[in-house]
Structure 1
Amino acid sequence: MSRAQDANRSFFPFGNPFRMISPKGSKVSHQLLLVLQAFEATFEERLTRLIPESKDEILSLSWMTLAMRLLCESHSDIKTLTTELELPVNDWDAKWIDVYFDISMKLLDICNAFSSELSRMSQGQLLLQCALHNLGSSSSEQYDRACSSFDGWKQHISSGNPRIEKCGSILDGLLGSLDLPKVKKSAKGKVLVQAMYGVKVLTVFVCSVFAAAFSGSTKNMLDLDVADVYSWAPTFKRLQNLVNEEIRVRFSCGRFAVLNELESVDSSLKELYPIIRGVVDPTEMKLLPEIVGQLGRSSGNLSQGLDLLAKEVDSFFQVVLTGRDALLSNLRSGATVIHSNVGVTEMQR
């Protein structure tokens, strides 16, 4: 992998794979193998759905929305799998409780960072709407106001977001969670850990892509090395290679923004500026209504895409938060005492 790993970190959203379920060893039964195979088949299907037919689809808000939706579904499947396996969540060792809360908090933090950036970009829509309103008039004064709004929009979109800049350290923590724990005496634990590994890989991949897109830098990109022993590994590698390669190409070209919808708005602005500034042949003014209409559609697509993606990010936040609440509920019902600082804080909330 592209970053150093912390071998002591892993996260267990809905169950304890280290608890000894059976005292007679950990040989995985045929029935458990069928359960795992069904889980991984569904997981691979989701990976396949994320592979775009065209590179132009990569880093569109619709593709990112799909990625976040499939991530939510995969995490929900882990919860369902844990229920099917009847794995208990109480009586955890204190260190594993600490690990779970630490990693799940990182997921909540990165969701908050993404939501912050989506909200910031949505705020810029007010500037575009103001500019479009001013373009409804043919006066030079209104054109000047429109240009001022356009300049403000570009400056707003290009400005940095401190919360996104912190995603690198969060990703380092998530990357460390990919290490597979050793489960020697629990067949059910082995099944859960293997299933969770795929979901964790998808989580880190999607989060790294989002962080790269929002930060405008490849420093947050990760190239995950998945062993070929997993049935879904070839599909994931194909997805990762295609997406990461395209992102790097876009950054190397010095584009204003890597998100398709932002680029579409910027392209319309580049056509508009010479016309409303009067630096082109006056006869080209006849193109103004068409270009303004194109800008309006691009702005509308951007606004709608941001809203839909924000909803999916919030859904993922809720999935993670629900998992934490479920664990706390189980710990309370089992009268489990947590001695760590993190656990005590969570139990007192």
Structure 2
Amino acid sequence: MSRPQEPHRPFFHFGNLFRNISPKGSQLSPRLLSLLNAFEATLSERLQKLVPKDKDDILSLSWMKLAMESVSEIHCDIKNLITELELPVTDWDEKWIDLYLDISVKLLDISIAFTSELARLSQGHLLLQCVLHKLESNSPDQFMRSCSLLDSWRQHIGSKNPRVETCLPILDNLVESLNLPKVKNSAKGKVLMRAMLGAKVATAYICSVFAAAFSGSGKNLLDLTVPDTLPWAQVFSHVQTTVNAEIRNIFSCGKYTVLRELDSVDGSVKKLYPLLQDGLGPIEGESFKNSVSDSVEPL
């Protein structure tokens, strides 16, 4: 059954924001300029790693692992930058630190939701392992029991996780928080705000990809537009355009999951189910077992 087309979320633009964080208002010292350039160059490199070599790489477990590692690394880069900037210095500087902590809290909430989904996928993995174990017996009774377990697996994987559903308002709040406060008379503040913009954009977008993948809904996918003058804007736009197009294409095909490995397992299950009901030969059983084993190994 085809999945109904979902409306795209609106594009979010941050042109006015960039004027608030542009260093024009206060001249940056060579040291501060070097810190900012280094942060943005590293951010570009981390985003470049997420550019898929092939469309089949998108939403594979290896790509998703790399994406989440990138979020972690970007936040470590922000922490290091705060240390290098020797903040806080004034009460207003403490408010900038509060902004960083606000990102961390939102990221923690999203991580809890994603962790619950990974735990749910692990439960599905156990069901598949039980199926593989029962196929060892070559017993008709065990084949029928395997059919029941496969039914349970598909119902389990196809069900909604309410915790993941809570990601949408958190992502909206994260996007709204991209409207960072205007910084006056502080070169350090402008450097931090501009770096924070990059960290927040990358975090919000990558988390939206995970939310879309885990919820099975394209409505969680963000479309963010940032000023072309930012050094990392081009590579970010490339990643976002490529990944969003492929995810929406997968959803338009009516697939219940966009996760590559799960989709592979589902294809094997569809082939196996009627064979189990009719009686599975040893060659077919071994072929399926190898196929599923290869598919679930990374889970």
User: When the two structures are superposed, what TM-score results if normalisation uses the length of structure 2?
Assistant: 0.87
Which residue is 2:73 aligned to?
73
Structure 1 residue 176 corresponds to structure 2 residue 184: no
| Contact 1:5–1:172 (Cα < 8 Å) also in 2 | no
Q: What secondary structure, in the 3-state scheme, does the structure 2 residue paired with 1:224 have?
A: strand
Deviations 1:252-303 (A, max 9, x none): 1011311011011111112212322218xx8x7633211221112212222x
Map residues 107-146 of structure 1 onto 2, 5 A cutoff: 107-146=107-146
Q: Are 2:88 and 2:94, in contact at CA under 8 Å, matched by a contact in 1?
A: no
* In 2, Cα distance between equivalents of 1:60 and 1:92: 43
Cα deviation, 1:206-238, whole Å, max 9, x if unaligned, reads 110000000000111110011101011011000
Q: Take 1:136 and 1:250, find their aligned partners in 2: how far apart are those partners?
A: 34
Distance in 2 (alpha carbons) for counterparts of 1:5 and 1:238:
16
1:111-260 equivalences under 5 Å are 111-260=111-260
Q: Which amino acid aligns with 1:296?
A: S
How far apart, in 1, do the equivalents of 2:97 and 2:237 lie?
A: 32
**Backbone CA RMSD of aligned residues:** 2.5
Contact 2:228-2:234 at 8 Å conserved across structures: yes
* Shift, 1:137, TM fit: 1.7
Residues 209 and 221, structure 2, Cα contact 8 Å, conserved in 1: yes
Q: Identity over aligned residues, as a percent?
A: 57
Deviation (angstroms), 1:189: 1.1
The code of the aligned residue for 2:87 comes to L
Range with greater deviation from structure 2 (123-132 or 242-251): 123-132
Q: Distance in 2 between matches of 1:29 and 1:98?
A: 25
In structure 2, which of residues 275, 284, 288 is the aligned counterpart of residue 287 of structure 1? 284
Tell me if structure 1 keeps the 8 A contact 2:93–2:189: no
Distance, in Å, in 2 between the alignment partners of 1:105 and 1:90 is 23
Cα gap change, 1:99 to 1:31, in 2 (>3 Å) = closer
Q: Match of 2:263, as an amino acid? A: E
Once residues 92 and 40 of structure 2 are traced to their aligned partners in structure 1, the CA distance between those partners, rounded to angstroms, is 27
Q: How does 1:5-84 map to 2 (within 5 A)?
A: 26-84=26-84
The Cα of 1:5 is off from its aligned counterpart by 9.1
Q: Return the alpha-carbon distance in structure 2 between the equivalents of residues 252 and 203 of structure 1.
A: 26
8 Å contact from structure 1 (residues 106, 170) kept in 2: yes
Is the aligned partner of 1:272 residue 2:272? yes
- Which letter does structure 1 place at the counterpart of 2:223? D
1:98 CA displacement: 6.9
Given the superposition, is the C-alpha separation of residues 2 and 191 from structure 1 closer, same or farther in structure 2, using an over 3 Å criterion?
same
> Displacement, 1:249?
0.4
Distance 2:89 2:212 in 1: 35
Superposition deviation, residue 90 in structure 1: 6.4
TM-score, length basis structure 1: 0.75
Q: Which amino acid aligns with 1:134?
A: K
Change (3 A) 1:225 1:298: same
1:297 and 2:291 correspond: no
Q: Which residue of structure 1 lines up, in the alignment, with residue 5 of structure 2?
A: none
Q: In 1, Cα distance between the equivalents of 2:96 and 2:36? A: 23
Query: Where does 1:98-109 land on structure 2 (aligned, <5 Å)?
Result: 102-109=102-109
Match of 1:331 in 2: none
Q: Is the 8 A contact 2:88 2:97 kept in 1?
A: no
- Contact 2:168 / 2:220 at 8 angstroms: preserved in 1? yes
SS at match of 1:137: coil
Q: Give SS of 1:199's match.
A: helix
Aligned partner of 2:3 in structure 1 is none
Dislocated runs of 4+, deviation >6 Å:
3-6, 93-98
Compared CA separation, residues 202 and 4, structure 1 to 2 (3 A): closer
Structure 2 residue identity aligned to 1:212: A
Q: Which runs of 5+ in 1 are unaligned?
A: 10-16, 18-24, 303-349
State whether residues 127 and 150 of structure 2, in contact with CA within 8 Å, keep that contact through their aligned partners in structure 1: yes
- Code of the residue aligned with 2:10 in structure 1: it is S
8 Å CA contact 1:51, 1:239 repeated in 2: yes
Q: C-alpha distance in 2, partners of 1:144/1:51?
A: 44
Give 1:125 deviation, angstroms: 1.5
Change (3 A) 1:184 1:93: closer
Q: How many residues align?
A: 283
- Equivalents in 2 of 1:79, 1:100: separation in Å? 9
Name the amino acid aligned to 2:287: E
